[in-house]
């Protein structure tokens, strides 16, 4: 709920908050980065990779543990929740995907839960992990003002583009595996416009190809930008709510009024944001199923 931000007003602000709201926002939006090789243009967002790996291991570990402890009798509470999710996604796949694939249902569950877990990191208090990271820096004698950390992997455009590119490659794989290389290639030049004679087919081949390139390019763009935009905006709103009591003083009566308003705003946005993070994971999963179904079907 980000209620911990209210209590930050009870202590003198430390860097970067002491520099003002602009420095506070910039600090929270800065990734922990590392350059790959000397003179290289490539940069890794270490915090994004770390939290993605931790959440992936958590997801796999929990499901493996649940599968090993699963019983055919009366299931426990957690097994019941897992079975409900699996049955819901399996039913959705059966209704949407009309091809033959044993991969689509496990893939859909993985996408939904992994994206949801990455989105759920936005539910943690906005200053909790950065404060812990800065305190660790200070303990080892480093400058806490340079202790950057962002905990929401899906608020990183690299993550959402990586997910959408993986889906894009799967779309091509499903198209080729269900139609064959010949049928897949033929469809690129013969749909959506179709002509009977050879002259008409040649004339329509170029516009069909251009439309196919646009269609395939829009899919990863729409998947990645929709998820990134919603999570980035949600993270930014939490930061703006935290600014309500930034560098506030207990000696001023406005601090208590702003603290109460901050608590209410944080609670309201957190409640609404739970719906957003769930909906975005669901949309990403459903669109993936739809795109794979379209790739498997003949035009």
Residue 38's SS3 state is coil
Specify the 3-state DSSP secondary structure of 76: coil
Q: How many Cβ atoms sit within 10 Å of the Cβ of residue 120?
A: 17
Active site residue 226: yes
Report the distance separating Cα 229 and Cα 241, nearest Å. Answer: 18
- Indicate if 219 belongs to the active site: no
| Annotated catalytic residue within 135, 222, 249, 254 | 222
Distance separating alpha carbons of residues 156 and 231, to the nearest angstrom: 9
Q: Answer yes or no: 247 catalytic.
A: no
Burial class (CB in 10 A: 0-12, 13-18, 19+), 294: middle
Provide Rg for the chain, Cα atoms.
24
Catalytic residue among 56, 101, 177, 226: 226
CA end-to-end span of the chain = 48
List b or e across 93-114, with b for residues whose CB sees 16 or more CB atoms inside 10 angstroms.
beeebeeeeeebbebbbbbbbb
CA quadruple 151, 157, 161, 162: dihedral, nearest 10: -40
Q: Which residue out of 45, 224, 230, 293 is catalytically annotated?
A: 230
Task: Give, in order, the Cα–Cα distances in Å from 18 to each of 8, 9, 244, 265.
Answer: 12, 12, 14, 23
DSSP 13-73: --TTGGG-HHHHHHHHT---EEESSTT-S-EEEHHHHHHHHHHHHHHHHHHHHHHHH--SS
Write out the two tokens for 114. 């992994």
261 close to 143: Cβ distance less than 8 angstroms: no
The catalytic residue positions are: 222, 226, 230
């Amino acid at each position: 709920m980000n209620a911990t931000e209210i209590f930050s007003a009870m202590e003198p602000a430390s860097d970067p908050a002491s520099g003002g709201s602009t420095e506070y926002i910039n600090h929270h939006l800065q990734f922990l980065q590392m350059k790959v090789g000397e003179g290289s243009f490539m940069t890794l967002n270490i915090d994004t990779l770390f939290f993605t790996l931790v959440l992936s291991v958590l997801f796999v570990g929990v499901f493996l543990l649940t599968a090993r402890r699963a019983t055919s009798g009366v299931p426990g509470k957690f097994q019941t929740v897992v079975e409900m999710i699996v049955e819901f996604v399996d039913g959705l796949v059966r209704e949407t995907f009309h091809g033959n694939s044993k991969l689509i249902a496990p893939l859909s569950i993985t996408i939904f839960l992994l994206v949801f877990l990455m989105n759920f990191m936005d539910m943690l208090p906005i200053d909790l992990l950065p404060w812990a990271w800065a305190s660790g820096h200070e303990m080892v004698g480093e400058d806490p003002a340079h202790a950057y950390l962002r905990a929401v992997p899906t608020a990183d455009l690299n993550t959402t583009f990586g997910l959408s590119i993986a889906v894009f490659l799967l779309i091509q794989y499903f198209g080729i595996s269900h139609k064959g290389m010949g049928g897949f290639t033929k469809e690129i030049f013969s749909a959506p416009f179709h002509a009977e004679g050879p002259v008409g087919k040649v004339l329509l081949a170029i516009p069909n190809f251009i439309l196919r390139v646009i269609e395939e390019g829009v899919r990863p763009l729409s998947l990645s930008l929709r998820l990134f935009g919603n999570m980035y905006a949600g993270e930014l709103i939490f930061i703006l709510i935290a600014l309500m009591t930034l560098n506030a003083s207990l000696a001023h009566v406005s601090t208590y009024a702003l603290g109460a308003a901050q608590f209410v705003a944080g609670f309201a946005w957190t409640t609404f944001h739970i719906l957003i993070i769930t909906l975005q994971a669901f949309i990403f999963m459903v669109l993936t199923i739809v795109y794979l179904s379209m790739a498997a079907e003949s035009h």
